[in-house]
Chain A
């Protein structure tokens, strides 16, 4: 919880990681990719305030104690949601797997939610594993990478029949939230892997699932916004938006937040620190303190007030994940409903 000016903010970090990217986990023969990947992540950390930068060595492999201190003790987070990234082609035990996350998280009851993942190209075996993960870890969310290679396949679309089979199965197993990585990626080489048009289809066809688009399609925010404004069950995951822009490019942060407030609305944005890329402390404190400047260039953006910040920092994700919010952190009755799906009236007719 974060308290500021007498207001209590319940913080859900809806997108964070516990990885091992140290050389002891690099796949022989793929060292240059494993090294390049984590160095690329490390460069993103460079967009945060200098006093929050880590050495590359620390960044490659932080400890359980580091995480607990950075996220909960110092970072104000009440509940954190692990989003797995397997990358087993480059990292022997995987980069940041559900198994690794849960092994650590189980020592801290009530602090973590374990999302899992699936790849529709894994057929029946993948469905079995999904079922096993849901049973073992209680997952109600998944993190998907549609641009990932898999046995020569150059990525997939969430609108593919195989993906629909998985989405149907996941829904039956109790999965509610589909986090999709639409953001910086590598493969397939000749495609624009940021394409969000597949979400347009599956969000319509699976109205009871929530689709949280992580990194809001950066660097193609416009494509994401045009799509999201038409789909009531599509949410904007703010990982990278706050971490990558708020300190390094405050003016663009104002504009991007203004655009998201206009096209998507404060009921449908979720905070994610992307830890260990960035620590949550400066992001939470900075966002609570952030105000859209009173200047002409920002004049036509909707303003995000205290209630909006409470929704974005925790209440929206708490609603999506069924997390109990202490009474002192809830919104007064007249401040709207977190994660409400009818916030697109601003752009009616879009």
Chain B
């Protein structure tokens, strides 16, 4: 080990980008294939190029991904300058310029938007919590628990899994109970525990929300593949 600040590697850059999610699909932009390229020079100048499934993908979500990627990369200790560029998108100039200038969404789209995107992000985090509830509960039910047994379960009672970690992360991001003693089933808006009367509908909604997100992700991957014949950095097949 030396005491010098070590140069950032491409792997570290990619790891940082893995923390950036498509807010709607709740998946990393890397595994979705949205990172066209990412490089960092020895001096710490990072350059990231992002791509999306269509020219007209919703600019609000696109903005969030570009801005989040910028934040994740520029927070790396060895990075001196950061450039994140969205390619082949109708609003690319406004988004790229706005993110580089740290202008925020409303100022980046002068006259075309009146609200920042925090509310949108929270709405989709709630959907991710519902989808995650299905992901965590389905194996429990398959293992023989009946649905009513889920009501009494705490997060700490659930066997460890990637899906559980993810559910706890999303709940934490929303400020909802996410500790060991928190109920497994909660309302994603209020955080209140689900009661027996609301249980069947809650589980149906969780399943439907997961289906919706996963089907959408399938369409986005198909469109991306049609548009680009190269694989993204860190892209994973579903």
Contact = CB atoms under 8 A, between A and B. Distances in A.
A115 B116 CA distance: 37
Interface string A13-33: 000000000000000000011
B63 to A, nearest CB: 8
B90 A33 contact: yes
What 9 A-B pairs have minimum CB-CB distances, sorted nearest first? A46-B226, A219-B216, A36-B55, A190-B113, A249-B218, A252-B215, A221-B212, A40-B54, A255-B211
Given A190-B109, A262-B204, A252 B214 contact: yes
Given A219-B24, A220-B212, A186 B218 contact: no
A249 B109 CA distance: 35
Nearest to B130: A222
- In which size bucket is the chain A interface? 35 or more
B55 A249 contact: no
Contacts of A253: 215
A263 interface: yes
B157 to A, nearest CB: 23
Contacts of A248: 218-219, 222
A313 interface: no
Interface string A255-273: 1100100110000000000
Contacts of B213: 219
30 contacts: A32-B90, A40-B54, A40-B56, A43-B227, A46-B223, A47-B223, A185-B58, A188-B112, A189-B60, A190-B105, A190-B115, A190-B116, A190-B117, A193-B58, A218-B212, A219-B216, A222-B208, A245-B218, A245-B219, A248-B218, A248-B219, A248-B222, A249-B218, A252-B211, A252-B218, A253-B215, A256-B212, A259-B207, A259-B212, A296-B142
A188 B116 CA distance: 13
Interface of A: 32-33, 36-37, 39-40, 43-44, 46-47, 154, 184-193, 218-222, 225-226, 244-245, 248-249, 252-253, 255-256, 259, 262-263, 296, 347, 349-350
B105 A218 contact: no
A256 B215 contact: yes
A349 B106 CA distance: 41
A255 B218 CA distance: 12
B211 A189 contact: no
B142 to A, nearest CB: 7
A189 B59 contact: yes
A108 B117 CA distance: 49
Nearest to A263: B208
B59 A186 contact: yes
A190 B114 contact: yes
Contact of B211 (A184, A187, A256): A256
Given A190-B105, A252-B214, A255-B211, A46 B56 contact: no
Contacts of A184: 56
A313 to B, nearest CB: 21
A244 B219 contact: yes
A221 B60 contact: no
A226 B227 CA distance: 33
Contacts of B207: 259
Contacts of B115: 190
Given A186-B58, A222-B127, A263-B208, A46 B222 contact: yes
B53 interface: yes
Most buried by A among B105, B127, B201, B226: B226
Contact of A47 (B56, B130, B209, B222): B222
B55 A40 contact: yes
A226 B142 contact: no
B211 to A, nearest CB: 4
Contacts of A39: 55
A349 B197 CA distance: 10
Contacts of B212: 218-222, 256, 259
